Amino acid sequence: MSIPAGPKLDFIEASETTISLQFQPLSSIERYEVQWKLVEHEWSNPAGSTNATASGKSPNVRAEAAELTPGMTYCIRACCIDPSGAKGVPGPELIIDTEQVGCTPKADKSCCTIQ
């Protein structure tokens, strides 16, 4: 039996150094590998990856790309992994920017009074 293509990723949120996402698991696959790279780089040397496992407790699998550089554009994709450890072809790519490092006070920590 062939390994299915990776799932479509859904964006949850991005911070300066992380991108959170989720996807619906395929019924025949329990393990996935989520990979990421800077958008201008090739997939032959991804910047990072993490494993994600489907759980019967949740309808979605959550994953996080971590230790990213602020203000950069990343390309993220997922592959299915069969029980023998073989990977299928990657699913559709998701392109997301990490947040820029801010130099102004956070809204919840600043106060301004106009008289």
Dump pLDDT digits (tens) for 38-54.
Answer: 999 999 989 999 999 98
Q: Which of 66, 65, 64, 57 is nearest to 25 (CA)?
A: 57
Contact indicator for 81, 34 with CB cutoff of 8 Å: no
Task: Tokens for 90, please give them.
Answer: 């990657």
State how far the Cα of 32 lies from the Cα of 9, in Å rounded to an integer: 12
Q: How far is CA 97 from the centre of its chain?
A: 11
DSSP-assigned letter for residue 14: E
pTM: 0.83
State how far the Cα of 81 lies from the Cα of 6, in Å rounded to an integer: 9
What pLDDT was estimated at residue 27? 82
State how far the Cα of 77 lies from the Cα of 96, in Å rounded to an integer: 11
pLDDT along the chain (115 residues), means of 10: 91 96 91 96 92 85 95 96 93 95 62 53
What pLDDT was estimated at residue 1? 66
What pLDDT was estimated at residue 103? 67
In this structure, the dihedral spanned by the alpha carbons of residues 20, 25, 30 and 34, taken in order and rounded to 10 degrees, is: -30
3-state class of 109 per DSSP? helix
What pLDDT was estimated at residue 58? 79
